[in-house]
Amino acid sequence: MKKNGFVLLETVVTICILSVVLLTMYASYAYVLRQSLSRNTYDLTDSIYEGYYITEIIKNNYDSLDNYFTTSCTNNNPGYICNISESDSTLHVLRDVYEVDKIYYINPKTYYTNTDLLNKLDATTIDYVKSIGKVNNRNILIIKYKKVYEDGTYEVFHSKVEV
């Protein structure tokens, strides 16, 4: 009888230790996951500065942001969607140095409240506009960065600049 009680006690202690280890691992994983999601939806300090420099580069090449949007971007009515493609030689710096994929000039509140407009954007940008919410009623630039790694994988994140 004593031997069975000892085995039961060992089992309970082992389960308790494993539970503590698993809870600690889950908490660490949840933290990493939360940090990853916040990076994709919230502006980081470096991306805020990059957004400012990007607007300055556009202003220098096109005299103003409005000239750039009307001449080089797709009118999404309301707002503009600008693809920074391989053929755009004027703003190759945005693609090569800052890894900009697209630039959106929109009013987040208008897009947030209108599902048809929101569906014209890509999935990661929809998530970003939803994270901004309908509180912001000013036109902003949303800059979509696409960082491509050597193994072919890539990471997408956004930043915004109020203009």
pLDDT tens-digit profile of 115-146? 888 888 888 888 888 877 776 678 888 888 88
- What is the distance between the alpha carbons of residues 128 and 159, in angstroms, rounded to a whole number? 9
- pLDDT tens sequence across 87-113: 666 777 888 888 888 888 888 888 888
pLDDT at 1: 46
Q: Residue 88: CA atoms inside 13 Å, Cβ hemisphere, count?
A: 19
Residue 40 has pLDDT above 60, yes or no: no
| Tokens matching residue 9 | 């006690």
Between 7 and 90, where is the model more confident? 7
Residue 2 has pLDDT above 60, yes or no: no
- What is the distance between the alpha carbons of residues 81 and 120, in angstroms, rounded to a whole number? 10
pLDDT at 19: 94
User: 163, 54, 32, 45: which is closest to 102 by C-alpha?
Assistant: 54
Is 27 exposed, middle or buried, given 0-12, 13-18 or 19+ CB atoms closer than 10 A? Answer: exposed
Q: What is the mean predicted confidence (pLDDT) over 54-79?
A: 85
14 — pLDDT class (breaks 50, 70, 90): very high
21 — pLDDT class (breaks 50, 70, 90): very high
